[in-house]
Amino acid sequence: MLESLPLVLKDLLQRAVMTFLPGWAESWVSALISAGAIVAIFGLLFGIVTVLERKGLARMQNRYGPNRVGIPLTSIRMAGFGQFLADGIKALTKEDLVPSRADRVVHFLAPVVMVIPAVLALAVIPFGRSHVAVELEAGLLFFFAVGSATELAVFMAGWSSRNKYSLLGAMRAIAQMLSYEVPLVLAVVPVVMAAGSLSLVRMVEAQAAAGSGWMGWYVATPWGLVGFILFLAAALAEANRSPFDLPEGESEIVAGYFIEYSGFKFALFFLGEYLGLFAALSLAVTLFLGGWLPPAAALAWLPSWFWFFLKLLLLIGLAIWIRGSWPRLRVDQLMGLAWKFMLPLTLTNLVGFVLWWHVPSGWLRWIVCGGLVWITYFGLAHSLLASRGWAPRHYRLVE
Amino acid sequence: MDGRTGFAAAIWYGWLMLGEGLAKGLWVTARNFIGSYLSEERLVTVQYPEERRSLPEATRSFPFLVYDGDDPVTGLRCVACKICEAECPPQCIYIVKDKVKKPDATGKLQNQPLIFDIDISVCMSCQICVEVCPFDAIKMDVAYEWSTLDRFEGLLLHKEQLSKPNSYYHKIHPAEAAEVDARLAAARARAAAKSSGSSARPVGVGAATPGSAAARPGAATE
């Protein structure tokens, strides 16, 4: 019952609408309802996550965080979870400022172009057993193709604002996103090879077939684990999340590429960034964490979409935790991490993946494949560290 | 520490501690996250309208006028000398002298203000008016909740709003007020000694606890 609830709701809505529309409109109505559901669910998730993030970060700094806004005109506070609605109303009623010398058309289009690719990318993610808006044979390819359009929006915003900080932020963003696209894609290549398909639906099925419960998930293999961590790091960089939030860099370039945006356009950028994060983490869940599969067969009585969103929320929590813990990288460190560290590791991971199929199964496989990545990791880290000439500091007066 | 340096040290310590900083950072935030739910003492913020932090002794917001006794008109210490008006850096004080005079604490006839306005939207809380006042008539208040819907009239305080009793001054700045009272009592005593035989009497009611004040001169730091 719960499992097919979204499908039943969609069917009811579609039938209700089709009573007063001609027959040829049915496919359009169906597509629009699916798109509307994705926008509504992820829009709501965006609102809740902004509150969760603010509360979580506050708790990591020993503060309360937002805990006031609840139902208006009553004393019900809902622990502050009405905050995102208040923020939305505030953003809608704020003055929409456009710099007098800005390129008005591009300035207007940039926030829209920011949101659309994120929503398109979410369309190919399977949220449940048969809950996928568009089942593409090359879903993964579509995801990456659409996802890289975000860079265009960022540069449109930075260029059209005619502001030096905007442009600096946009150029940082372009350099960062192009660099991290490489390890991002290379990190998922083993998964594509293992599943033998580019279809995201097929990848989840392959993980269901690979073993019982969580044992079958690709994260439970050495190449999957390494790929997952590398993918997560690259995804945070792609979504401009801390510790890779240089394009915003509050302390250096004020707010980066959306410095000249106010009111609801700013809110759209905010939404676009979070939807991009959700899309990237959804892909991580689908590729490495078994998508909508329950961790054990005994837990299969819970609906598949519940497991998907639980995993997604856990990854979002991890992203918030990382944001609250780690400082921002410098530009050269950012580039060095992508090209000197993550790229060789992803390539080694590919070799490790090949070895995984040629070494007989058992603990030896883990030692060979894991050891390969382990050695590369320490070799790279130490040679990079040594090339900087750093050594532990000795403080004469402290000892 | 052992004698490893350079590359060897990088290998040795790197081998042991690679990524340790990241893990440490995560551990600290995780401890705060869990800990802030378990113990209230960790939380550094105050839930403002419901609970307030007690103000330190030296708190100051905007100036107010002190009056002795119960009557804010006859007890007002201000003699409209306009020194504070002249000294005020942002020029937020406006005084008009009254034609009618009134006796001060020592019985001498003095001027009094007809109008005494302070625009607290202009005031910068520098306390210079307090420093220059020879009559201890103007002191700093601690009230800070001045938000109003009318930013012109609502923030322009008149003589009636500014006049507050000496007991209020004692409440907000006890040590300082005691010191001022002692000083005024001494001045009155000197005036009384000068005109010995005459019936000079102190007017100040909320006054004179010289013993306690002498015990802690200038105890504003408490």
Per residue in B18-52, pLDDT (tens digit) is 677 888 889 999 999 998 888 888 888 888 888 88
**Residue B83 shares a structural domain with residue B146:** yes
- Residue-wise pLDDT tens digits, A309-356: 999 999 999 999 999 898 888 888 888 888 988 999 999 989 888 888
Give me the CATH number covering residue B97. Answer: 3.30.70.3270
Q: Give the pLDDT mean for A176-194.
A: 90
Secondary-structure breakdown of chain B: helix, strand, coil percentages, each rounded to the nearest 5: 40, 15, 50
Q: How many structural domains does chain B have?
A: 2
Q: Is residue A126 part of a domain?
A: yes
Counting beta carbons within 10 angstroms of the beta carbon of residue A271, is it exposed (0 to 12), middle (13 to 18) or buried (19 or more)? buried
Q: Is residue B185 part of a domain?
A: no
Contact criterion met (CB < 8 Å) for B35 and A392: no
Provide the mean pLDDT of chain A. 85
On the question of pLDDT at A225 being above 60, the answer is yes
Cα–Cα dist A242/A233, whole Å: 10
Which member of B1, B11, B36 has the closest CB to residue A62? B36
**Residue B40 shares a structural domain with residue B69:** no
- Residue-wise pLDDT tens digits, A19-65: 887 878 888 888 888 888 888 999 899 999 999 999 999 999 988 88
- Residue-wise pLDDT tens digits, B123-137: 999 999 999 998 889
Cα–Cα dist B12/B60, whole Å: 57
> Measured between CB atoms, does B90 come within 8 Å of chain A?
no
Collect all residues with Cβ–Cβ distance below 8 Å to A60 and sequence separation of at least 6. Answer: A321, A324, A325, B29, B30, B32, B33
Q: Is residue A40 part of a domain?
A: no
On the question of pLDDT at B219 being above 60, the answer is no
Domain boundaries, position A296: 94-387
Residue B216: the pLDDT is 40
**Residue B39 shares a structural domain with residue B72:** no
On the question of pLDDT at B205 being above 50, the answer is no
Residue A84: the pLDDT is 86
Q: Is residue B2 part of a domain?
A: no
Residue B30: the pLDDT is 92
On the question of pLDDT at A147 being above 50, the answer is yes
Q: Give the pLDDT mean for B158-184.
A: 90
| C-alpha atoms less than 13 angstroms from C-alpha of A3 in its C-beta half-sphere | 11
Domain boundaries, position B31: 16-45
**Residue B138 shares a structural domain with residue B104:** yes
**Residue B41 shares a structural domain with residue B140:** no
Contact criterion met (CB < 8 Å) for A59 and B25: no
The amino acid occupying position B216 is R
Query: Does residue B127 come out as left (phi exceeding 0), alpha (psi in the -120 to 50 range) or beta?
Result: left
Residue B5: the pLDDT is 57
Q: Give the pLDDT mean for A207-216.
A: 80
Residues of A in contact with B33 (CB under 8 A): 56, 59-60, 321, 324
Q: Is residue B9 part of a domain?
A: no
Q: Is residue B203 part of a domain?
A: no
Which member of A64, A389, A399 has the closest CB to residue B45? A64
Instruction: Read off the DSSP letter of residue B136.
Output: S
Residue B213: the pLDDT is 41
Contact criterion met (CB < 8 Å) for B44 and A62: yes
Contact criterion met (CB < 8 Å) for B30 and A326: no
Q: Is residue B58 part of a domain?
A: no
Residue A321: the pLDDT is 93
Cα–Cα dist A139/A202, whole Å: 10
On the question of pLDDT at A300 being above 80, the answer is no
Contact criterion met (CB < 8 Å) for B32 and A59: yes
Which carries the bigger pLDDT value, residue B218 or residue A190?
A190
- Residue-wise pLDDT tens digits, A150-174: 888 888 988 888 888 888 888 888 8
Residue A390: the pLDDT is 67
Q: Is residue B126 part of a domain?
A: yes
Which member of A322, A381, A390 has the closest CB to residue B18? A381
Q: Give the pLDDT mean for A90-114.
A: 87
Counting beta carbons within 10 angstroms of the beta carbon of residue A265, is it exposed (0 to 12), middle (13 to 18) or buried (19 or more)? buried
Provide the mean pLDDT of chain B. 80
Confidence label for A258 from pLDDT (cuts 50, 70 and 90): confident
- Residue-wise pLDDT tens digits, B56-94: 888 899 999 999 888 888 888 888 889 999 999 999 999
Counted residue by residue, chain A has a size of 399
Query: Does residue A65 come out as left (phi exceeding 0), alpha (psi in the -120 to 50 range) or beta?
Result: left
Which of B27, B32, B34 best probes binding to A when mutated, by most A CB atoms within 10 angstroms? B32
Residues of A in contact with B28 (CB under 8 A): 325
Residue B120 in contact with residue B146, Cβ under 8 Å? yes
Instruction: Read off the DSSP letter of residue A359.
Output: S
**Residues 19-38 of chain B whose Cβ lies under 8 A from any Cβ of chain A:** 22, 25-26, 28-30, 32-33, 35-37
Q: Is residue B200 part of a domain?
A: no
Confidence label for B156 from pLDDT (cuts 50, 70 and 90): very high
**Residue B111 shares a structural domain with residue B27:** no
CA distance A57 to chain B (A): 8
Q: Could you tell me what percent of chain B has a pLDDT over 90?
A: 31
**Residue B24 shares a structural domain with residue B108:** no
Q: Give the pLDDT mean for A239-244.
A: 84
Cα–Cα dist B17/B118, whole Å: 63
Which of A53, A57, A59 best probes binding to B when mutated, by most B CB atoms within 10 angstroms? A59
On the question of pLDDT at B221 being above 50, the answer is no
On the question of pLDDT at B214 being above 90, the answer is no
Residue B200: the pLDDT is 45
Q: Is residue A367 part of a domain?
A: yes
Q: Could you tell me what percent of chain A has a pLDDT over 70?
A: 98
Residues of B in contact with A385 (CB under 8 A): 10, 14
Which member of B14, B26, B45 has the closest CB to residue A382? B14
CA distance A295 to chain B (A): 25
Q: Is residue A44 part of a domain?
A: no
Q: Is residue A69 part of a domain?
A: no
Q: Is residue A355 part of a domain?
A: yes
**Residue B69 shares a structural domain with residue B168:** yes
**Residue B128 shares a structural domain with residue B25:** no
How many helices (H) and strands (E) would you count in chain B? 8, 8
On the question of pLDDT at A129 being above 90, the answer is no
Q: Is residue A50 part of a domain?
A: no
Residue B87: the pLDDT is 92
Q: Is residue B186 part of a domain?
A: no
Q: Could you tell me what percent of chain A has a pLDDT over 90?
A: 17
**Residues 197-216 of chain A whose Cβ lies under 8 A from any Cβ of chain B:** none
Which of B33, B39, B50 best probes binding to A when mutated, by most A CB atoms within 10 angstroms? B33
Contact criterion met (CB < 8 Å) for B43 and A64: yes
Q: How many structural domains does chain A have?
A: 1
Which member of A56, A59, A385 has the closest CB to residue B14? A385
Q: Is residue A63 part of a domain?
A: no
User: Which of A199-213, B60-74, B197-211 is predicted with the least confidence, judged by mean pLDDT?
Assistant: B197-211
**Residue B67 shares a structural domain with residue B170:** yes
**Residue B32 shares a structural domain with residue B77:** no
Residue B58: the pLDDT is 87
**Residue B125 shares a structural domain with residue B41:** no
Contact criterion met (CB < 8 Å) for B10 and A321: no
